[in-house]
Amino acid sequence: MSPGMRVGAVIITMGNRPEELRALLESVAKQDGDPIDVVVVGNGSPVPEVPAGVRTVELPENLGIPGGRNVGIEAFGPSGRDVDILLFLDDDGLLARNDTAQLCRQAFEADPKLGIISFRIADPDTGVTQRRHVPRLRASDPMRSSRVTTFLGGANAVRTRVFAEVGGLPDDFFYAHEETDLAWRALDAGWLIDYRSDMVLYHPTTAPSRHAVYHRMVARNRVWLARRNLPAPLVPVYLGIWLTLTLLRRPSRPALRAWFGGFREGWTSPCGPRRPMKWRTVWRLTRLGRPPVI
């Protein structure tokens, strides 16, 4: 591909972080190379004032994280085809370096099978990367870049040909595991995913359980993820392991009640189209260090 790969950025917002959003947009505008076309999606809320040239879309209702991001993708044409690469950035994040977009261009140009890049998330005050933000099992060294099997939703870059080939994020997930659903479909289609420690998004340290729907959505979507993507023999193995891990973590009684409610909902509600991955993809995931049962 030519050195001039076109880069766009999708940012969804609830309109409640205007200062953080402004700082993020400034960090995007400072990126080296050709200017980045930015779309900010107000997910059921008005978009705060943004700089000239930044496009906005205001949705009448909150479509959830995957639904809002899918609207942002389509703002760049069907499957985002008006650009070659789309950055997805949390509205309270900040690109730490000015060369991140250029590093993305170089990475995608160098490897035509690279479909997704997961950035490193670091706390802006301490520089610490939480273990859960390293998308692999061996997460003790966040400074080590590697091939991975999933990615971080609010700090990544995707080649738009991936969306054209495997579709967008699963709208109905609303929150949790939508990235892994897309990652598994992309890997099954032959694309690769990299975690890059040199591509950094500053983001305040938070706990995912701060969201009121966390425990229910995590459990429901875990079941949907398995039902949609795994070969039939692996579905009970995958979900059995996650059930065991959840119990070993000894969540509070209200959290466990919400979790089991979501787990039940995952089995009794439609999960969307079922497209089980090939067994050779299972083997690829295993060789990458994360068999799709963990």
Whose CA is closest to 81, among 171, 175, 158, 150?
158
Q: Are 152 and 101 in contact (CB under 8 A)?
A: no
Task: Print the domain residue range for 11.
Answer: 7-202
Q: Are residues 164 and 230 in the same domain?
A: no
Q: Does the pLDDT at position 212 exceed 60? A: no
The pTM is what? 0.95
pLDDT in tens, 57-70: 999 999 999 999 99
Q: What is the arithmetic mean of pLDDT over 272-291?
A: 97
pLDDT, tens digit, 9 for 90 and up, residues 28-45: 999 999 999 999 999 999
- Dig out the tokens for 80 from the structure: 């985002």
pLDDT over 60 at 1, yes or no: no
Identify whether residues 153 and 80 lie together within a single domain.
yes
Instruction: Judge if 24 and 145 occupy the same domain.
Output: yes
> Do 155 and 20 share a structural domain?
yes
Which residue in this structure is represented by tokens 């080649």? 159
72: Cβ–Cβ under 8 A, 6 or more apart, which residues? 10, 11, 12, 39, 41, 57, 86, 88
What is the CATH number for 116? 3.90.550.10
**Cα–Cα distance between 209 and 203 in angstroms, integer?**
16
Distance of alpha carbon 160 from alpha carbon 180, whole angstroms: 17
Residue 68 belongs to a domain: yes
Domain contains 286:
no
Residues 93 and 154 in one domain: yes
Residues 52 and 137 in one domain: yes
Distance of CA 258 to the CA centre of its chain: 24
Predicted confidence (pLDDT) per residue in 213-258, tens digit: 899 999 999 999 999 999 999 999 999 999 999 999 999 999 999 9
Q: State the average pLDDT over residues 135-162.
A: 96
